[in-house]
Chains A and B, each alone.
Chain A
Amino acid sequence: DQQVKQNSPSLSVQEGRISILNCDYTNSMFDYFLWYKKYPAEGPTFLISISSIKDKNEDGRFTVFLNKSAKHLSLHIVPSQPGDSAVYFCAASPGGYQKVTFGTGTKLQVIP
């Protein structure tokens, strides 16, 4: 049962352009949504999060949008940089310290 889905396994974007990574979820109990970035042979690194009471959260070049009615969130990276090349995991949790459920990841490649 895949509660968090990232339908695009990979994405290529030119440096300087916008990268948009998408994520869908099915569990209505999810209250917190997170994006993690992962390089090979390293653990996931927290990038940005959003709670269900908001529809947008911004941190520098990274913005997460949440559409609760559509159970959809997206991560926008503007402008994209070659160092952004990594696997991005969408994740969700009912909140507090409860377990985080990860999506399958999207491999982003930013082409110089």
Chain B
Amino acid sequence: EPEVTQTPSHQVTQMGQEVILRCVPISNHLYFYWYRQILGQKVEFLVSFYNNEISEKSEIFDDQFSVERPDGSNFTLKIRSTKLEDSAMYFCASSEVSLYGYTFGSGTRLTVV
């Protein structure tokens, strides 16, 4: 069964450092998303991406965040200067068109120290 692949599974970084979280969406999917879940809290939407541009973003997704699809397969989330409160599980998801094809990756646990 096709799956969304995220790397690394766990990333530890020092406060103020830049991190790049990587995702390989399902190959025929057109819509890409990043969500995050702070420990013990709900899964929160960060950003959606379609046709090489951001289609929607939340208030969490400020200037410190950026997304890119550098080639035909990868979809990355960059945090320029990490803060302690950025520590969370970050989930990538992709979909064809409908919500039924919305598939999540297994997540990257980001720990900012």
Contacts and interface: CB of A to CB of B under 8 A. Distances in A.
Interface of A: 32, 34, 36, 41-46, 49, 89, 91, 93, 95-105
A43 B102 contact: no
B59 to A, nearest CB: 11
A97 B97 contact: yes
A46 B105 contact: no
A58 to B, nearest CB: 15
A34 B99 contact: yes
B41 interface: yes
A44 B99 contact: no
Contact of B91 (A44, A46, A49): A44
Given A36-B104, A43-B105, A97-B95, 7 more contacts: A41-B106, A43-B4, A43-B6, A46-B103, A89-B42, A99-B33, A102-B35
Given A32-B99, A95-B99, A98-B56, A43 B48 contact: no
Contacts of B98: 96-97
A18 B47 CA distance: 36
Contacts of B107: 41-43
A96 B93 CA distance: 15
Interface of B: 4, 6, 31, 33, 35, 41-45, 48, 50, 55-56, 58, 91, 93, 95, 97-100, 102-107, 109
A53 to B, nearest CB: 14
Contacts of A36: 104
A96 B97 contact: yes
Leading 10 A-B pairs by shortest Cβ distance: A43-B104, A102-B43, A104-B42, A99-B45, A97-B31, A43-B91, A43-B106, A102-B42, A44-B104, A42-B106
Contacts of B45: 99-102
A97 B43 contact: no
14 contacts: A41-B106, A41-B107, A46-B102, A46-B103, A91-B43, A96-B98, A97-B31, A97-B55, A97-B97, A97-B98, A99-B45, A102-B35, A102-B44, A105-B42
